[in-house]
Every structure is written in C-alpha cells, then in structure tokens.
Amino acid sequence: METIATILEKILDDLQSVGGIELSAIVSKQGLLMVYKETTSGLNSEALAALTATLYMSAESTTTRLSNQKPKSIIVETEDKHLITYAAGSDALIVVLVGNKGSIGLILNELKNATEKVSKLI
C-alpha cells in the first residue's frame, strides 16, 4: 500500500518531467515541508517551505482585502528564474523554481493538474 508521501513524490516526479524545473516541493500553508525534489543542490528545503508559505499568506491577505478572493498562484520573476507558488486545496501549496530553460505556460498547465491531485489527498 502506498503512503501519502509516496503519492506526493510521484506527483512531483510527474511535474518535474516537464523539464526546466530546478526544484519542486509540496508544503503546508503553515510552512511545513511535506515532500521536496531538486535538481540543484545547496538550498535549504525547510527555509524554502517556510518562506513560500509566508509569501502565499501575505498575498492571500492582500487579495482578500482588495477583491475578497484568494490567489490561485503567485509568480515571482527574477532575471533568470521564476518562483511559482500554486494553491493545492485549502491546506497545501506546490512550489516550483523554474530556470530560464523552462516553459512557463506548460509548467503552469502541469501545476494545475498536480494541484487537483494534491487537493484530493490532503
């Protein structure tokens, strides 16, 4: 019998097969790391989980005040990377760091599919 962690890891594996994703994680909205996959090393996964959850909660507070709606996703763009945080149900977030070789449109489409799977589990 597969555990939830194993299923979540498979979801990240499928997501990373799109290409261009340097790291992916599923974190709780409280900032706790559930699963994590990376192709580069040196990043602190626990810090990433806490920081992205904080980013999401700040955006949620802002959009709720402005439009009475919660964000589905947040995209932070730098010169050569995109950090995408996507809500996956009421308690989880999927986070990906995309290098400049990644196709943002394709990754966003796959993120939407992944969030549907995660929201059914958590």
Q: Does domain 4-121 have CATH number 3.30.450.30?
A: yes
pLDDT, one tens digit per residue, over 38-86 is: 877 677 889 999 999 999 999 999 999 999 999 999 999 999 999 999 9
Of 93, 70, 69, nearest in space to 83 by CA: 93
Say if residue 101's pLDDT is above 90.
no
Q: Whole-prediction pTM value?
A: 0.92
Measured between alpha carbons, how far is 8 from 18 in angstroms, rounded to an integer? Answer: 16
- pLDDT band for position 97 (cuts 50, 70, 90): very high
Measured between alpha carbons, how far is 3 from 83 in angstroms, rounded to an integer? Answer: 28
Q: In the chain, where are the structural domains located?
A: 4-121
Say if residue 7's pLDDT is above 90.
yes
Share of the chain above pLDDT 70, in %: 99
Reading phi first (left if > 0) and then psi (alpha if -120 to 50, else beta), residue 60 is in: alpha
- Pairing type for strands 21-28 and 33-38 reads antiparallel
